[in-house]
Structure 1
Amino acid sequence: MKQYAAIEVQKLVEADKAQHIIDVREVDEVETGKIPGAIHIPLGLLEFRMHELDKSKEYILVCRSGGRSGRAGQLLESHGFNVINMDGGMLAWQGKIE
């Protein structure tokens, strides 16, 4: 699975090139702020909501520190999705949040 540093993802977001970001944190974590435009699908619900995703798109996965998004990426990759894990998660994020 590919990994991007938070700064790489931030540059994509600022250039309006990061169209498909999935935040796999829990509801209370996302309430503190998420990357603008990110889709919130908690890790525990991901396998039940995979049908909402498009295998022709590339998804950047985000969590608090990079661990849960790594597990989410393994799950999605095993089902044929193209994914990138944001290394360091929201702890490393320096960009805007919503």
Structure 2
Amino acid sequence: MANTVTKEISYEDLKALLGKSQNLLLVDVRSKEEVDKGRIPGSVHIPLDTVEAAFSMQPEQFKAKYGVTKPPLDAPELVFHCQVGRRGGMATAKAHELGYVNARNYTGGYKEWSEKEGK
């Protein structure tokens, strides 16, 4: 059994990454209805039930579908988030199973983000 401890990232760390990193891929795994109400700038919407398929795609397919470059398995800055952390954790665990060793979950989710950002 692989180590199932989910790596996490805080609001402060995510905010800093969004400000400086060109390599960050922030994946929003919420439903389309939730995303339509507001999202973290720069995030890519890949619903939870499609995460496994998305991250199993060939890079060309991934780029065509999501408009961003598919991260390599050792991508240092791959972050998943949902509304309050649970689905983000599930997506992060799935990414780990697929070999994305550094995938992290933003546990505060969009709820915390929107509160801190005052939106």
Give runs of aligned pairs for residues 56-71 of structure 1, distance below 5 A. 56-57=74-75, 58-71=77-90
Segments of 5+ residues of structure 2 without an aligned counterpart are: 1-5, 63-69
TM-score (norm 1): 0.86
CA-atom RMSD in angstroms: 2.0
Segments of 5+ residues of structure 1 without an aligned counterpart are: none
Question: How many percent of aligned residue pairs carry the same amino acid?
Answer: 29
Q: Distance in 1 between matches of 2:30 and 2:112?
A: 15
**Number of equivalenced pairs:** 97
Q: 8 Å contact 1:4–1:87 — kept in the other structure?
A: yes
Once the two structures are TM-superposed, the CA of residue 18 in structure 1 deviates from its matched residue by 6.2
Considering Cα pairs closer than 8 Å and 6+ residues apart, tell me whether 1 or 2 has the greater RCO: 1
TM-score (norm 2): 0.72
Once the two structures are TM-superposed, the CA of residue 47 in structure 1 deviates from its matched residue by 1.3
Q: 8 Å contact 1:9–1:18 — kept in the other structure?
A: no
More strand by share: 1
Match of 2:31 in 1: 26
Residue type of the alignment partner of 1:75: K
